[in-house]
Structure 1
Amino acid sequence: MATDHELTLYVMTGCPYCIKVKHFLADNGVTIPERNISTDSDAEQTLIAVGGKRQVPCLFIDGEPLYESNDIIAWVQENLL
């Protein structure tokens, strides 16, 4: 994966939309660093502070939040595949 973007995927244990995104990434050989807000309180606080809400999945692209699993998948398809 060659990208000029700084990426972080915020997820939560058991979230079906997070699982959908993670399966898509795995199926396409894309690796994005993850932070799990269920087990990492700092990640949760960062998500809320930057994004303004506690919603996952959330892909931070160069520090900007992108929500909704379908939108994240579409961005990955357009920019990383």
Structure 2
Amino acid sequence: MRILIRYFFRALRAVLTPFLLLGDKLTTPKGMEREPAEQARVDAETRDLALYQFPACPFCIKSRRAIQRLGLNIELRNAQHEGDHRDALLKNGGKLQVPCLRIAHPDGRVEWMYESADIVRYLEDRFGSTGRNSGH
């Protein structure tokens, strides 16, 4: 019975994945516009961020949409299949759960933030229209 359930969910994912990806492409939000100097500052700060994600994960889509809406240049790392990104997430983040935002702090400390709601809130607080560089 357990194997039947597993195959059911695999088939369901196979059917839904193209629709999720198409919906994401068709409804991509317009990015926030900033003055060139401000955008350069934001781009410099986002160099220390990376989002570990799966392309069709609804919670990853939510996080990517926030990144797009805020006009952020954050590296997206696909951790769905075996490879360096998946291994780094599991070894350094502690668990294979996405989305996960890797935050490299100026003091050398690295933080692994899970949960899409926490990631979106962090990005909005730090880079939103009222957000300021708070030294995160």
**1:56 and 2:127 matched:** no
Moved over 3 A (4+): none
Deviation at 1:32, TM superposition (A): 0.6
Structure with higher helix content: 2
Q: Which of residues 3, 7, 10 in structure 1 aligns to 2:52?
A: 10
Length-normalised TM-score, structure 2: 0.55
Runs (5+) with no aligned partner, structure 1 = none
Secondary structure, aligned partner of 2:96: coil
Deviation at 1:3, TM superposition (A): 2.1
Mapping for residues 39-78 of structure 1, pairs under 5 Å: 39=81, 41-62=83-104, 63-78=110-125
Structure with higher strand content: 1
Provide the C-alpha distance between the structure 2 equivalents of 1:53 and 1:18, rounded to a whole number of angstroms: 16
**Contact 1:11–1:57, Cα closer than 8 Å, also in 2:** yes
**1:80 and 2:127 matched:** yes
What does residue 27 of structure 1 align with?
69
| Aligned-CA RMSD value | 1.7
Secondary structure, aligned partner of 1:73: helix
Identity of aligned residues (%): 37
Larger radius of gyration: 2
Runs (5+) with no aligned partner, structure 2 = 1-41, 105-109, 129-136
Secondary structure, aligned partner of 2:65: helix
Length-normalised TM-score, structure 1: 0.88
Aligned residues between the structures = 81
Secondary structure, aligned partner of 1:8: strand
